[in-house]
Structure 1
Amino acid sequence: MAIYHLNASVGTRANGQSASAKSQYIGRLGRYARGAEVIAHVESMHMPDWAAVGSKRALATGLAYWREADKSERANGVLFRSIEFALPRELTAEQRLALAREFAASISTQPDGGRLPCTLAIHSLGKDAANPHVHLLLSERINDGLCRDKSMWFRRAARQGADPASGGARKADIASRRTAWLSEVRAEWAARANKALAAAGHEARVDHRSHDERGIAVLPDTHLGPAAAAMERRGVASKRGRRRRERAKVEHEIRSQNEDAEQEGQPLRGVRQNALRPGQFVAGGKVGWAYKPSDTFIRPVRRNSDLDDELEAQDRERQRMERARAIAGEPKKPGEWVDVVRANRYREQLGKVARRKDGTCEIEIRGSGGGFMIDYGGRLEFHRCDDLTAARLSAVAAQAKQWKEVEVSGSDVYVRQAASQMSAQGMRVVAADPAQQKHVDAGNAHGEARRRQWQRDQQQHSPLAPHAPAASYQEHFDVH
């Protein structure tokens, strides 16, 4: 099935990129030679005469030209523009080569007849047999046919009215109109690919326009990639596969809502994606992930202010929970400890304690790059710290508050590690989100095994530390 894919990027010395390294990569030369089995064809076009040096493969990749670009192009200049595009699988190898050459010649030809030096590499063999694509490396220096050596080529062009040969090769007007140029390139590739498909007798067509521009009310798809696709073929659910299935479910809900709205004559309303976190969409009470976020509206969704408010509230809560890792247990006063011995262990890991206006305590976590813990009394939240640190502190805090049963929420890694740490201390741990209970069960099993081993090793010692009267943060830390 023919698909549209075209990605453009720019390489500059200021960003630490190298034109020669890029040409060696797409041509699989030097340190990239191990992947040479994917190469179906490599050639360079419109190169100046001085670049015709080196081995046959180096000539094909234009290596001499791109090395000189790295060496002589201005520090703030563009070394290359890279265009990667997918070839239709319906075409034969010969038809793909002809199509790629035709497209490269078209976009490298300037209105005044000059041509941009470029290197074209087709990857369609070996592991890329099912994903034929082209890497096109484009220079912005125009080859106008005048004789210049490499020392002159990358200099500034001659001023208007002067002899062009007295200066370097002119630069194409791409940077000043890069958005329009890219739109033209994308449209050009779609037109030429469709023309080649029609000439070969295939009905498949590609379209460079977005769903919004085409008036199609579907959510952006999730690209599986080779690793996730292989997992799905083996029957193993992958994260990207789950996102794709969630997207299909939400799309079905949107279509159902649209049908109901049309039958009832109700107005339609979209949900603006950029009102949420980038890449996130909400519909039908579900939160999922889109592969490519959009600033346009997802259409159609029935207008329902109550539903909109509920979805926004759910999204705010989800965002807050994703930023924090939390445990909850028997309510205590914010800042109150029961087990003073274990509370004192925080001296090395916690810093300043601040009382907040709402009566809660905010405690700095040392060595976490700005992390902090908030004590709500019956709930502790850990912000801006890694999962392992939060899990370790969760176990100590739960002991200090003498919680026997704890509910955890946060990332999968956190809930598993926190369950392991706390179950090793004899606490019962459950997940706030039922979908994460499997991770908690795995952590509980690991913690119980550690606890039993520790009990066997310490049969003569009590596993519980002595308890002291209740204490508060003020008695053990500096409160500011």
Structure 2
Amino acid sequence: MANYHLNISYGRVGKGGPHIDYILGQNKYSNKQNEIEYTDHNLPIWSKSPKEFWIAADDKERTNGTVYKEIRISLPNELSKEKNIELLNEFINIILEGKYHYSIAIHSKESSYKTEILNTHAHIMFSPRELDGVERNKDIFFKRFNAKSPELGGCKKNTSWNNIEKLLEIRKIWENIQNKYLENENIDERVSCETLEKQRKIALEN
């Protein structure tokens, strides 16, 4: 049965490097490597690897600053691996619009609470600094934004990601796009971003 899950979290200075290791199954998390089904990244030209980018964020963001936002979503087991990758990338293109540096990974493992069911989910880890077309090096990118001379400051952080309205917006987008893919594959299952209590209320009203 298709299930719905989406949440947004964040990581402060010092968490970027360890978390990219976790979602990519590397270094002390190498035991997770067999869970990794897919990875992709949108990184600046000065970064030779995802780890270099997120370590730079840890080093150069202000003390206690937010290094990354993370959207974690469950992927429908009813879809093939290839379709889930397509689904994930379409979702990312819609919500991030090519305006952020990110690292993503799909993990798939046996569910801890249901036998013969896979826990297939994706981590979307992105910097909340919105790209504005100005080329910046590592030392400039994470600085405070300079409105008068953007090239002298870092990319501005998009604070809308802190709002409940943004969360509700992307939860609805994720509902719609999953249902589109399930319908296109002639799968009867559908998902809802509403709570079970609200779904029950709507069902009773109908």
Residue 214 of structure 1 and its aligned partner are, at CA, apart by: 3.0
Residue 68 of structure 1 and its aligned partner are, at CA, apart by: 0.5
| CA distance, structure 1, for counterparts of residue 84 and residue 102 of structure 2 | 18
* Residue type at the aligned position of 1:36: Q
Note if contact 1:108-1:118 (Cα within 8 Å) is conserved in structure 2. Answer: no
What is the aligned counterpart of 1:214 among 196, 199, 203?
A: 199
- Match of 1:3? 3
Aligned: 1:190 with 2:175: yes
* Residue type at the aligned position of 2:55: R
What is the aligned counterpart of 1:120 among 99, 104, 113?
A: 104
Alignment of 1:57-76 (within 5 A): 59=49, 62-76=50-64
Alignment of 1:301-340 (within 5 A): none
- Match of 2:71? 83
Residue 18 of structure 1 and its aligned partner are, at CA, apart by: 0.7
- Match of 1:41? 38
Residue 5 of structure 1 and its aligned partner are, at CA, apart by: 1.0
What is the aligned counterpart of 1:163 among 149, 153, 157?
A: 149
After superposition, the C-alpha distances for 1:335-392 in whole angstroms (9 at most, x for unaligned) are xxxxxxxxxxxxxxxxxxxxxxxxxxxxxxxxxxxxxxxxxxxxxxxxxxxxxxxxxx
Note if contact 1:158-1:168 (Cα within 8 Å) is conserved in structure 2. Answer: yes
What is the aligned counterpart of 1:28 among 25, 30, 33?
A: 25
- Match of 1:173? 159
Residue 12 of structure 1 and its aligned partner are, at CA, apart by: 1.6
| SS state at 2:46 partner | helix
Residue 173 of structure 1 and its aligned partner are, at CA, apart by: 2.7
After superposition, the C-alpha distances for 1:20-53 in whole angstroms (9 at most, x for unaligned) are 11111010011101120011011112x21111x1
After superposition, the C-alpha distances for 1:230-256 in whole angstroms (9 at most, x for unaligned) are xxxxxxxxxxxxxxxxxxxxxxxxxxx
| SS state at 1:10 partner | strand
Same amino acid, percent of matched pairs: 30
Residue 103 of structure 1 and its aligned partner are, at CA, apart by: 1.0
User: Aligned pair in 2 of structure 1 residues 94, 212: CA closer, same or farther (>3 Å)?
Assistant: same
- Match of 1:392? none
| CA distance, structure 2, for counterparts of residue 18 and residue 29 of structure 1 | 15
After superposition, the C-alpha distances for 1:111-148 in whole angstroms (9 at most, x for unaligned) are xxx61111110012x54671111011121011223211
Alignment of 1:3-402 (within 5 A): 3-13=3-13, 18-45=15-42, 47-51=43-47, 53=48, 59=49, 62-109=50-97, 115-124=99-108, 126-127=109-110, 130-159=118-147, 162-175=148-161, 177-216=162-201
* Residue type at the aligned position of 2:154: G
Residue 81 of structure 1 and its aligned partner are, at CA, apart by: 1.0
* Residue type at the aligned position of 1:91: L
| CA distance, structure 1, for counterparts of residue 196 and residue 29 of structure 2 | 37
Aligned-residue RMSD, C-alpha: 1.9
Note if contact 1:152-1:168 (Cα within 8 Å) is conserved in structure 2. Answer: yes
Structure showing greater Rg: 1
| CA distance, structure 2, for counterparts of residue 2 and residue 127 of structure 1 | 16
| SS state at 1:209 partner | coil
Paired residues, what number? 198
After superposition, the C-alpha distances for 1:76-107 in whole angstroms (9 at most, x for unaligned) are 32111111111011111110001111112221
| CA distance, structure 2, for counterparts of residue 38 and residue 77 of structure 1 | 30
| CA distance, structure 1, for counterparts of residue 44 and residue 129 of structure 2 | 10
Runs (5+) with no aligned partner, structure 1: 54-58, 219-480
Residue 217 of structure 1 and its aligned partner are, at CA, apart by: 8.9
Q: Could you tell me the TM-score, scaled by structure 2's length? A: 0.89
| CA distance, structure 2, for counterparts of residue 92 and residue 68 of structure 1 | 36
| CA distance, structure 1, for counterparts of residue 34 and residue 155 of structure 2 | 36
| CA distance, structure 2, for counterparts of residue 5 and residue 119 of structure 1 | 19
| SS state at 1:49 partner | coil
| CA distance, structure 2, for counterparts of residue 5 and residue 147 of structure 1 | 36
Residue 158 of structure 1 and its aligned partner are, at CA, apart by: 1.3
* Residue type at the aligned position of 1:65: F
* Residue type at the aligned position of 2:59: K
User: Aligned pair in 2 of structure 1 residues 217, 69: CA closer, same or farther (>3 Å)?
Assistant: same
| SS state at 1:79 partner | strand
| CA distance, structure 1, for counterparts of residue 93 and residue 73 of structure 2 | 15
User: Aligned pair in 2 of structure 1 residues 186, 18: CA closer, same or farther (>3 Å)?
Assistant: same
Structure having greater relative contact order (Cα 8 Å, sep ≥ 6):
2
